[in-house]
Structure 1
Amino acid sequence: MTEHEQLRQGKPLVVAIDGPSGSGKSSVSKAVAQRLGLAFLDTGAMYRSVAWHCLNGRINLENAAAVEAAARTIKLEQSMVPETELFKVNGVNVTDAIREPGISAAVSAVATNLGARAELVRRQRALIAEHRHRIVVEGRDITTVVAPNAEARLILTASEEARLRRRGLQLGGTQSAEQLVEQVLARDAKDSTVVDFQRAADGVYTVDSSELNFEETVVAVIAVVRKAVNAGPAA
C-alpha cells in the first residue's frame, strides 16, 4: 500500500471536485481516486444518462415535468471503481453513447432542470454514503451542494484556450471549432444559470491547470487534498 493510499485510512475522506468543461475533472479525479484508494463518482455521467434516456425514449427535453419524472424513475448503474468506466440505463450499456456530441448538446436541459437536479443530488449523496464516505466526487455543484462538508473541496479550472484544446484532443479532432465552443463554453454558460462552478466558495481551494500537464495536475490536486486534511478549512 502506498503512502497516498493510507491517507485518513479507516476514516471518511470525501474529495469534492468542481470545475468547467474541459478542465480535466474526470480524468484527473479518476487518477486521484486510484492513487488514494478511493471510490470514484462521475456525476456528469448521471446527467448525461438521463439525457440519453430522454432522447432515446422521445421525451421532450423542454417538458420540465417529464424530464424530472425521467430522473426519478430511471434505473442508473455505474462503476464506482476509477479503473473501470461503465454506465447503464435501465440495464442498457450506454458507456460510449453518453459521450456522443448529441448528448453533450442536450445534457444542459437536464442539468438546468431543478427537479431532475434535486433527484440526482439525492442519488449522489446516497452513493457517497454507500461507499462509507471514502470517495472522489466530481461535477459542478459538489463543493457547495452535494458534499459541502467534504474533507477536501476544490475547483479544478483552466483557461478557455486550454480547455478547448484539451476537449478537442479528447474527441480525437472529430469536432469543428464551432462544435467545441458549443460543447465547452456554451454549455458552461447554460449550466451556470443554476450553479456557480467557476468561483471557489469559502473554504474551497482552486487548482489552475492551464500550464500544467496531466501528471502535474494530479500531483497538485493530491497536494491540495493533503493540505485540506491536515490544515482543515482553506483560508
Structure 2
Amino acid sequence: MANFVITIDGPAGSGKSSTAKLLAKKLNAAFLDTGAMYRAAVLAAMNCGCDLNDVGNLERIIDNTKFQFEILQGLMIVKINGSDVTEKIRDPQVTANVHYIASQPSLRTRLVKMQRAFAAKYDKIVTEGRDQGTVVFPDAQLKIFLTADNSQRAKRRALELAQNGYDADVNKIQNEIENRDLKDTSRKVAPLAPAVDAITIDTTNLTLEQVVEKIFGLIKQK
C-alpha cells in the first residue's frame, strides 16, 4: 500500500476529480480516478450486451476481463482487454449505468480490490471517489469531503460534457445529479458520506486553485 494517501470524496460535480488531479500533480503523486474504474466495469458489461441487473453475469464479466489502469502525464489511462477506452468511458450512457455496479456489494468488493492493487504500486497517491476515506483507505493520512450546491455542480458537469463533445442540458443534468445523490446516499453498501475524520470543504464559490491550495495547506499541517 502507498505510504501517503489523500482521499477526496464527494458527490458528482463537487470538483473532486479536478481537485485530485491537480493536487496529485502538485505533490508529484499518483492520481487514482476510481470513477474511471467503475465506468470501465460498466463499459465492459455494456460491450457484452448483458443484462445489467444480472449480478452473476456482471461478476463473471469483471472477473474475466483484463482491466489496465496506467498513469500517463498525470492522467489515468484505461484499457479493456488491451484497447484504450479512456474516452469511451466518459459517454453519458456509461455514466447513467454506473449505479448497477455501485449498488452491488459483490461488485464493489471487486472494484475496491482493484483500487488497493493500484495504490500498492505507488508511494504517494491522491484518490477520489465516494467511499475512499470510509471504506477503501480508512487509514489515509488526510481525508477530504467536497460539497457544492446542486446548481453549481450541474453547471460544472455540463461544462465537462460540452468539452468532451456531448450535449449538455443543465436542468436535465441537475435532475440526474439529484437522482444519483439519492442512490448514492441511500444504498446499503458504502453509502456516500464523509468519514468521521474527514475535513469538509464547500467548493461552491471557490476556484479549483483555491480548493487545491486549501488542501495543500492542510497537508503542510500534518
TM, length-normalised to structure 1: 0.86
Change in CA separation of 1:15 and 1:130 when aligned onto 2, cut-off 3 Å: same
Match of 1:107 among 91, 94, 98: 98
Q: What is the letter of the counterpart of residue 114 of structure 1?
A: P
How much does 1:182 deviate?
A: 4.6
In 2, the alpha carbon distance for the partners of 1:92 and 1:206 equals: 38
Q: What is the letter of the counterpart of residue 195 of structure 1?
A: A
In 1, the alpha carbon distance for the partners of 2:32 and 2:72 equals: 8
Match of 1:71? 62
How much does 1:179 deviate?
A: 3.4
Q: Does 1:196 align with 2:191?
A: yes
Q: Does 1:13 align with 2:7?
A: no
5 Å-filtered alignment, 1:63-212, equals: 63-81=54-72, 83-132=74-123, 134-172=124-162, 174-192=167-185, 193=187, 194-197=189-192, 199-212=193-206
Q: Does 1:31 align with 2:22?
A: yes
Change in CA separation of 1:82 and 1:188 when aligned onto 2, cut-off 3 Å: farther
Q: CA RMSD in A?
A: 1.7
Change in CA separation of 1:76 and 1:148 when aligned onto 2, cut-off 3 Å: same
In 2, the alpha carbon distance for the partners of 1:128 and 1:179 equals: 35
In 2, the alpha carbon distance for the partners of 1:185 and 1:226 equals: 35
Alignment length, in residue pairs?
A: 216
Higher mean alpha-carbon deviation, 71-80 vs 49-58, is at: 71-80
Q: Tell me if structure 1 keeps the 8 A contact 2:153–2:174.
A: no
Change in CA separation of 1:183 and 1:86 when aligned onto 2, cut-off 3 Å: farther
Structure 1 segments unaligned to the other structure (5+ residues): 1-10, 231-235
In 2, the alpha carbon distance for the partners of 1:147 and 1:16 equals: 7
Q: Tell me if structure 2 keeps the 8 A contact 1:28–1:217.
A: yes
TM, length-normalised to structure 2: 0.91
Instruction: Determine what percentage of the aligned residue pairs are the same residue.
Output: 35
